[in-house]
Amino acid sequence: MKKNSYTKKLHALTNALIILLFISLLASKLKAQQLELKVGFLGTPDHPDVEWNDENMQLMKDLGFNTMQLNIAWGSRPDDEPLNLEDVVRIPLQFELPMDKRLSKTLHSTQRIEKRSEKIKQRIALCKKDNFHTIFQFGAPFADHPRQEKEPLPQCIMDSTTINRYKTLIKEFYKKFPGVDDLMMYTYDQDAWLCSEDGPCPRCHGVPVAIRVVKFVNTLAQTWRKLNPNGILWWEPWELSAGEVYSAINLLDTKCVGLAIHSNIAEVQIAFPADRWFKNVLYLAKKKDIPVLAEVWMGCPTEEMEPYTHIPTPLLTLQELRAVYNAGVLKGIKEYYGNVPNEEDPNLRMTSIFFDNPDITDSVALNELAKPYLNAAEGVIKYWKLSSEAVAFYPWDVSWYAREVGRSNPIHLMTAATLKGASWETPSWQSSRKTYFMRTDETSEPNFWMREDMQLRFEQSASLMTQAISGAKSIQKIVPEKFKLEFDKSIKELSEFRRRVLAYVYHLRETNLANDIRISIKLKLPQKQRLENIAELRKILVKDQENEGTDEPIASAIKLLDHNLNKFLEIYFLPSKTTNMRNDWSITSN
């Protein structure tokens, strides 16, 4: 009797556990199906010549993408990719402005418009053939880059003519490009711009930007929805402040507008995904039932790494995707920079693994990612971990100039190391982005401790890069042949990245040491510490010279340091004004 009772209890417990396991698996399955749109596109601003063909479309499908952005939509217009509606649709005569006439023989000539249009039509056909959802991205209102125009801008969104122009252009676009499912529009940046609330525009002065821009966004979204009953206009509110974005969300037409947002308020940054602003936007959007696309880096090519395209950070990519995915309800995740699927890209393959199972752990994902590397798999995992850690430690928050790392010149100036800030006249740059970037202007020299902080953080990143490079070289010979080309490129590019980071380390430390020596002499402090500082400065200059790969200008500095300290201190590592002679992205050189 007792045995039967025990058996029944055991069976009941077993059944309960099975039910709980089933519910858990079902919940996991439902969670994994949350991402309705997985958005990518072919080509990048630095590598726009990725062919739109059956092979690459199949590679994107195999990676898990189901939606394609039809154009690169980057400010530099790589390979003459369309950036605005005006790039692919002729402007009706009744809306033609002086700037349109000026551009009618160049940027907006009939020949160039039709050439771009033909590309988009071919891409739409490929997408429809492979059942991809499609999105065309553009900026509006077009302002022929705001630096060339003064407010009131030629296309003020408070002017009914501007609104009617874009309603007409959207209708013309719909007729010209059947098969486009959604539109994506940004309203601030590159060749789109808004008048300032406190500027001279008589229509916009005193009217909050959220009120002005939402009316424009809603009108265009409603126009698109009437033409395409299932179509969404995804609005990217970049360059608005955090508060302006919150205000705007409450005014959006929830029936036809979606949001496409950077992974943080400042930029798309692999090391800082899903900040408080990002989570707040998802919270507000959920309350209003507004769909959201999160914009992230999914592959090795990114704006942060330009022009490098092979630096692998798959662990950091996984953590970035996981962070935005877990931050709130998303309609989808979207590539921000572009994809090159026909090359080995560990980051892009990691994205595919995440798409398949968003709950996958780091170790399981890395093991799955490394399987094709066969005997080199264990070493490759170590390499990827270290390179991911190196990029995570890199101080992306020092300045916007921390991006585009390959454009920095490792042969730095011999003036005092600064920390070059960057800023533009937009609401976000003048408010919210100041909380993310240490330097958004250059009105003062960085403090000793800020230089030291950056030096130590760059040093940590460089140390991890050194370990990663060493590990990669140790397995270079056993990497399978089909991966060798990209693997070798990754080592070369990471080595070049490390070289630039070390240039920052040396320049910052040299500056602080020179200042320490000056102060020591001025205050007549004991000579012992000063001599140690001088010795360290000389050692760093030698390392710096080796890193630069050229004798000068450091050879002359070392010679003077050895023979005439006072003269050295009068010439080297002193603050300077911006020279405007070197546009090379270096953070520490003016």
Residue 127 has pLDDT above 60, yes or no: yes
pLDDT given for residue 438 in this prediction:
94
Contacts with 413 (C-beta within 8 Å, 6 or more apart), sequence order:
576, 579, 582, 586, 589, 590
Q: How confident is the model at residue 578 (pLDDT cuts 50, 70, 90)?
A: confident
Residue 584 has pLDDT above 90, yes or no: no
Residue 15 has pLDDT above 80, yes or no: no
- Mean pLDDT check: name the lowest of 3-17, 175-189, 369-383: 3-17
The model's pLDDT over 54-93, given as tens digits with 9 standing for 90+, comes to 999 999 999 999 999 999 999 999 999 999 999 999 999 9
Q: Among 399, 387, 425, which residue's Cα sits nearest to residue 504? A: 399
pLDDT at 23 over 80: no
Q: Pick the more confident residue, 23 or 166.
A: 166
pLDDT value of residue 296: 98
Mean pLDDT of 426-445: 91
Q: How confident is the model at residue 574 (pLDDT cuts 50, 70, 90)?
A: very high
- Give the residue carrying structure tokens 């959920």: 286
d(CA 275, CA 384): 25
Residue 213 has pLDDT above 50, yes or no: yes
pLDDT for the residue numbered 580: 52
Over the stretch 134-184, which tens digit does the pLDDT of each residue have?
Answer: 999 999 999 887 555 688 999 999 999 999 999 999 999 999 999 999 999
pLDDT at 582: 46
Average pLDDT of the chain is 93
| Helix residue ranges, H only, 524-551 | 527-548
Mean pLDDT calculated for residue range 477-489: 98
Does 254 score more than 80 pLDDT?
A: yes
What does the pLDDT average to over 199-212?
96
What mean pLDDT do residues 112-123 have?
98
pLDDT recorded at residue 17 = 53
Instruction: Give the Cα separation of 60 and 134 in Å (integer).
Output: 13
d(CA 576, CA 415): 6
For the record, the structure tokens of 7 come out as: 């058996």
pLDDT of residue 29: 44
Contact between residue 469 and residue 523 where contact means Cβ atoms under 8 Å apart: no
3 state SS for 180-220: CCEEEEECCECCECCCCCCCCCCCCCCCCHHHHHHHHHHHH
Q: Which long-range contacts (CB under 8 A, 24 or more apart) does 462-466 make?
A: 462/390, 462/498, 462/501, 462/502, 462/505, 464/386, 464/387, 464/389, 464/390, 464/393, 465/386, 465/387, 465/390, 465/494, 465/495, 465/497, 465/498, 465/501, 466/498
Name the band, by pLDDT with cuts 50, 70 and 90, for residue 33.
very low
pLDDT of residue 14: 55
Sign of CA dihedral 160, 162, 167, 171: positive
pLDDT of residue 581: 47
What's residue 6's pLDDT?
54
The domain limits of the chain are 32-373, 394-571
Inform me whether the pLDDT recorded for 32 exceeds 80.
Answer: no
Q: What percent of the chain has pLDDT over 90?
A: 88
pLDDT at 140: 98
Q: What is the pLDDT of residue 1?
A: 47
DSSP state for residue 142 in the 8-state scheme: B
pLDDT at 587 over 70: yes
Which one, of 107, 209, 96, 110, lies nearest residue 154 by Cα? Answer: 96
- What pLDDT was estimated at residue 30? 44
Distance from C-alpha of 75 to C-alpha of 107, rounded to nearest angstrom: 13
| Calpha distance 343→365 (Å, rounded) | 20
Please give the Cα distance from 371 to 124 (Å, whole number): 35
- Dihedral through CA 71, CA 336, CA 402, CA 237, nearest 10? 100
Res 159: pLDDT: 96
Rounded percentage of the chain residues whose pLDDT exceeds 70: 93
Q: What is the mean pLDDT of residues 119-147?
A: 93
Residues 309, 340 contacting (CB under 8 angstroms):
yes
CATH fold for domain 32-373: TIM Barrel (3.20.20)
CA distances from 433 to 131, 213, 266, 269, 349 (A): 39, 20, 5, 13, 31
Instruction: Tell me what pLDDT residue 151 has.
Output: 87
User: In the predicted model, is pLDDT for residue 31 greater than 60?
Assistant: no
In the prediction, which pLDDT does 250 show?
Answer: 96
pLDDT-derived band at 10, boundaries 50, 70, 90: low
